[in-house]
Amino acid sequence: MTTGLSAGLGLKPRHYEEAFAAPADGLWFEVHPENYMVDGGPRLAWLETIRSRHPLSLHGVGMSLAAAAEPDPDHLRRLAGLVDRVLPALVSEHLAWSSWRGAYRPDLLPFPRTREALQRVVDNVDRVQRALRRQIAIENPSHYLRIDGHEFDEIAFLTELARRSGCRLLLDVNNVFVSARNLGFAPEAYIDAFPAHLIAEVHLAGHSPDPALGKALLIDSHDAPVAPAVWSLYERLIARAGPRPTLIERDDNLPSFAALQLERRRAVAVLRAPGREAA
């Protein structure tokens, strides 16, 4: 692992003081840069304060890389400004679209993985990496729909994207589990086939059953602890790929900072298991 990062936590305003005070110990924090694209004020001040003690990761949700359009230049400029300001250890985005023809939809929307889409995402990742003057990592999203017209499976698409744009990948193990359940594939096969040498970061999060349909449809809700089945997939991944910076994501139904630290320590234990070394 080249970054020296162990397991990290999503940073929430309610936990700023405890996050700052937490022992460094390989701990790092991830935020959505969209929440810090402001001119000033306490949020930005807290982010810089925490950055003075812990490495940061900027995990974007709004670049809309898979839209059939260039990234919004203003959004890209603001991201570059934040990157220059906090010098994050990692920068990442999603294989999805959200902004389209002047409106933003707060979700990570799917698309047919065609050659046209691949070229578009390659071009957009290239634009972002040039503007930031650094490599970014692209995350596999959760899937809820069977879409006709895919010309690539997701791993082939991501691998080709990395080869052509020079980006790396963020493997969200919970998204693999959720997508596998919803679309009916084996999550172990996906985890085993994912190109280990391209993984810059791993995400772990909780999911929940759809309120109406129950376990037939899992939602990537980030409102619960990481599920046992997702921990098993994670252990399987790390045993094969070696340690990678790993984030515990939690956005809703937020527990205490101490409870998140406990989950994080479980990831640290997996990363430190005997015989593990960087791939």
Residues that bind other proteins (CB under 8 A): 34-35, 37-43, 45, 61-64, 67-69, 72, 74-75, 78, 97-107, 109-112, 114, 116-117, 120, 143-149, 182, 210, 212-213, 216-217, 219
Comparing CB distances to other proteins, the nearer of 44 and 196 is: 44
Give the shortest CB-227-to-other proteins separation in angstroms.
18
Give min distance, CB of 202 to other proteins, in A: 23
**What is the Cα Rg of the chain in Å?**
18
Question: Between residues 182 and 246, which has the closer beta carbon with respect to other proteins?
Answer: 182
> Which residue's CB is nearer to other proteins, number 208 or number 232?
208
The least distance separating other proteins from the CB of residue 113, rounded to whole angstroms, comes to: 10
Instruction: Give min distance, CB of 260 to other proteins, in A.
Output: 21
SS3 percent helix, strand, coil of the chain, rounded to 5, is: 40, 20, 40
Residue 278 and residue 242 in contact, taking contact as beta carbons nearer than 8 Å: yes
Please enumerate in sequence order all residues whose Cβ is within 8 A of that of 209, keeping only pairs 6 or more positions apart, or say none: 215, 217, 218, 219
Give the list of residues 6+ apart from residue 2 with CB closer than 8 angstroms, or none. 278
Instruction: Please identify, using beta-carbon distances, which residue of 105 and 240 lies nearer to other proteins.
Output: 105
Classify the phi-psi angles of 173: left when phi > 0, otherwise alpha if psi is within -120 to 50, otherwise beta: alpha
Read off the tokens for 42: 């306490």
Q: How far is the CB of 253 from other proteins (least distance, A)?
A: 13
Residue 171 contacts residue 241 (beta carbons within 8 Å) = no
State in Å, rounded, how far the first CA of the chain is from the last one: 7
- CA–CA distance, 264 with 274 (Å, rounded to integer): 18
Residues 228, 14: Cα–Cα separation, whole Å: 27
Distance, CA of 2 to chain centre: 18
Q: How many helices and strands in the chain, by DSSP H and E?
A: 9, 12
85 vs 272, which CB is nearer to other proteins? 85
Q: CB 193 → other proteins: shortest distance, Å?
A: 23
**Minimum distance, C-beta of residue 31 to other proteins, in the bound complex (Å):** 13
| Comparison of 130 and 146: residue with beta carbon closer to other proteins | 146
User: Which lies closer to other proteins via its Cβ, residue 45 or residue 87?
Assistant: 45
- Kindly give the residue spans of alpha helices, DSSP state H, lying in the chain: 16-21, 42-51, 73-86, 115-132, 154-165, 173-183, 187-193, 228-241, 257-271
Task: Report the nearest approach of other proteins to the CB of residue 266 (Å).
Answer: 28
Looking at the Cβ atoms of 227 and 241, the one nearer to other proteins is 227
